[in-house]
Amino acid sequence: MFTTQRIRLRKMTEQDAQVYHSWRNDARVMETTNLHMDLYAPEDTDAFVRTVILGSSSSKSYIIGDADTEKPIGIMSLISIDYKNRNAELIIDIGEPDYWGKGYGQEALQILLHYAFNELNLHRLSLRVFDFNERAIRLYSKIGFKQEGVIKEALFRNGSWHDIIHMGLLQSEYMK
């Protein structure tokens, strides 16, 4: 579908439920991206993939794959797509720790931003990030997202309260 030298994005399918399940149950992956640190049974993940990820008419989900090996390394979604007001929320998880901090997330985001703003003609993208996920905040800021608000002490993780930062990017800002 969408390709760079290092990654290939493709639509998520039911066959991806198993790898998604492994990421969903990996505390290292979910600690920085998921409100609920929980363990899920395989059938719960299958149902979630079928009904929430694939069954939604207001979302588009893509597997991020290593272009050389085709190995799935993460997932990225546009959710709550509002075609009338041309808004969507962006979610990304690099599920394979070996790929963290090497620019794969940035490459995937650049592909999805181009698609969202140039092909879907969205006006605005938003995202949420935990305040302790400094690497993600730096990345989002670097590619143009701006902080729009803070939900104070909305997450209790590792014995402390943390803020959830809301960030947004307008099509006009992206196109500059």
Is residue 145 within 8 A of residue 128, CB to CB? The reply is: no
Pairing of the two strands 87-94 and 124-130: parallel
The pTM assigned to this predicted structure is 0.91
- What pLDDT, on a 0 to 100 scale, did the predictor assign at position 128? 98
Is residue 164 within 8 A of residue 128, CB to CB? The reply is: yes
Residues β-bridged to residue 60: 78
- What pLDDT, on a 0 to 100 scale, did the predictor assign at position 40? 87
| Residue 133, both tokens | 């996920």
Helical residues (DSSP H) of the chain, grouped into ranges? 17-24, 27-30, 42-48, 104-114, 134-142, 171-175
- What pLDDT, on a 0 to 100 scale, did the predictor assign at position 1? 61
> 151: helix, coil or strand?
strand
**Structural domains of the chain, ranges and CATH numbers in brackets:** 2-175 (3.40.630.30)
Q: What is the mean pLDDT of each run of 10 residues along the chain (176 residues)?
A: 91 94 91 83 91 92 96 97 98 96 96 97 98 96 98 96 99 96
